[in-house]
Structure 1
């Protein structure tokens, strides 16, 4: 039975030993960080218990609390900034869905269907590193529900922020990226995820989309592989981003005039633009009041 109150998790709730593998060192770091951030933790407990809809989520997922005492979205945040942003981020998307009469994502994810053959896009809660955001877009192989790409995002003031873009960490990753690029009509899958986030930003009613600069990104442990390395600055720059405090990304799809495209590639670009237009239309339909 779920507790009716939220309490800061124990070290063993986040880092239980598994088999012969000990997580004693990780538990020690968690305890130390918890001690150093007692004020923030007290504030977070008060916040959580003022919002009953979050209590079950936070009790069921102890690691969702850890960012209060560690990092969240951006390495530059101090303890107060981090606490304020965590509270805001846990509320903003559930509040949008409530207004639309939709259940929270931890009860039911939102499936946008097959955006390319055999691959579907879903909006859900993160199952990986909550310090990089609680909400994710996931590109999955439909037949097996296998996660192929993910994009994690959060909210900063009145903007949405892309905090993570991660690709596959399996044998044959490069070949899979090539296959997806072909299915996306020449658009590389990491860039497809950015375009999907542009559409989601507009569908949710936000006017600005940001990207995390490489040096301020909280490194994810979901993918640490020599097979596929993400360079956020390169991606956001090539998506027409402008670097300031964050990468400021345009919300419109970058498109070329057909007369500027070589004739042998025009069909591919037409299919790409149609794919992105359909994705945007699907997202707007999902969030229509």
Structure 2
């Protein structure tokens, strides 16, 4: 029988105080100490590498098919993770450390394993792919206005403003995250129609260690009427080719952040080249036309600044169209620069402004939060 005023002994006569530091135990206070110990153990387990890996198996909406097929996909993901455990765990920790990245990870769970598949350059290994992925989001979190980051990666769309085409119709510029299971880059800049349906897209990522922009995709419309649509769009841009405008916007993005190194993917190194899927654009021809030089790694190194004709180099009867083209291009570049400069209200404030009974939707918010010069 225990003596009065003494705590009961544990198994083999060892009490809870034996598990704690000498100053941590106070008679009669063993329950709070045990609770603290339990909380510390739970937090330690939750922050461990296996726990992060297992947590990354949840809410995988990108794994489709019956249960057995999803199980096989999960096993492949685990096997690939084990092949590079420390690097993948650091990436998971990076995603968990930032609330914006946690939200984006829920919206696009493929982000967790983008580096385990074909990505940007077919010559890259897994570690190079993972390095590029981390560098892009480190850059985006540091340099993009927080509101713009939320619009692009949390809601999936940011409208930058409108351009007036030759026929009087409106064209809009939009920023979007990569397409579902995208493998060509992490930021998609699009030229859209008045309904914000894409007409032309350029997809790129940013490296922040040795500042560079890597372009993985420059794509126009598809289908049997694609050529006709491109011709019509070129006429509405006063004779400027849409892909020329998209490249000018990438240069404007690079200029805004002082980036002078631009790399564009070649046909041979494109990640979809070896998948058997057709490429609808001849990248090599366009990058060569833009004075790009092919490198051994499958990139075209583009000039640090875009080369434009001067008005004096244009025939006199074409100069009025040339001036309209240049004015349109400069307006598009200003729309992008404004979006990268102007602060956007954080997402909770925008939701509060919309109110609970306004029927607020992300598409409605596009018009409300666009940048107009």
Which bin holds the TM-score, normalised by the shorter protein?
Answer: 0.7 to 0.9
Q: CA deviation at 1:24?
A: 7.1
State the number of aligned residues: 275
Q: CA deviation at 1:250?
A: 2.9
Q: CA deviation at 1:151?
A: 0.9
Q: CA deviation at 1:265?
A: 1.8
| Residue 278 of structure 2 is aligned to residue 234 of structure 1 | no
TM-score using structure 1 length? 0.82
Partner of 2:201: 150
Q: How does 1:230-269 map to 2 (within 5 A)?
A: 230-244=281-295, 245=297, 246-269=299-322
Tell me which protein shows more helix as a share of its residues.
2
| Residue 85 of structure 2 is aligned to residue 41 of structure 1 | no
Query: Is the 1:110–1:124 Cα contact (8 Å) retained in structure 2?
Result: yes
Higher alpha-carbon Rg: 2
Going from structure 1 to structure 2, the CA distance change for 1:103 and 1:42 (only over 3 Å counts) comes to closer
Partner of 1:126: 178
Cα distance in structure 2, aligned partners of 1:27 and 1:168:
36
SS for the counterpart of 1:164 is: strand
Match of 1:58 among 105, 115, 136: 105
Query: Is the 1:153–1:162 Cα contact (8 Å) retained in structure 2?
Result: yes
SS for the counterpart of 1:150 is: strand
Q: Which moved more, 1:252-261 or 1:158-167?
A: 252-261
* Residues 114-164 of structure 1, C-alpha deviations (whole Å, 9 max, x = no match): 23522211122123443211211011111x221121111012331011111
Going from structure 1 to structure 2, the CA distance change for 1:265 and 1:128 (only over 3 Å counts) comes to farther
Query: Is the 1:12–1:27 Cα contact (8 Å) retained in structure 2?
Result: no
Query: Is the 2:95–2:102 Cα contact (8 Å) retained in structure 1?
Result: yes
TM-score using structure 2 length? 0.65
- Structure 2: runs of 5+ lacking an equivalent: 1-51, 343-373
Going from structure 1 to structure 2, the CA distance change for 1:127 and 1:199 (only over 3 Å counts) comes to same
Q: Which moved more, 1:125-134 or 1:231-240?
A: 125-134
Partner of 2:236: 183
Q: CA RMSD in A?
A: 3.0
Partner of 1:139: 191
Going from structure 1 to structure 2, the CA distance change for 1:11 and 1:93 (only over 3 Å counts) comes to closer
Cα distance in structure 1, aligned partners of 2:94 and 2:335:
35
Cα distance in structure 2, aligned partners of 1:107 and 1:214:
32
Partner of 1:32: 76
Q: How does 1:149-228 map to 2 (within 5 A)?
A: 149-156=200-207, 157-219=210-272
Q: CA deviation at 1:211?
A: 0.8
Cα distance in structure 2, aligned partners of 1:235 and 1:182:
20
Going from structure 1 to structure 2, the CA distance change for 1:188 and 1:83 (only over 3 Å counts) comes to same
Cα distance in structure 2, aligned partners of 1:181 and 1:27:
48
Query: Is the 1:211–1:249 Cα contact (8 Å) retained in structure 2?
Result: yes
Query: Is the 1:34–1:69 Cα contact (8 Å) retained in structure 2?
Result: no
Going from structure 1 to structure 2, the CA distance change for 1:219 and 1:178 (only over 3 Å counts) comes to same
SS for the counterpart of 1:120 is: strand
Cα distance in structure 2, aligned partners of 1:254 and 1:116:
25
| Residue 64 of structure 2 is aligned to residue 16 of structure 1 | yes
Cα distance in structure 2, aligned partners of 1:23 and 1:259:
66
- Structure 1: runs of 5+ lacking an equivalent: none
Going from structure 1 to structure 2, the CA distance change for 1:176 and 1:279 (only over 3 Å counts) comes to same
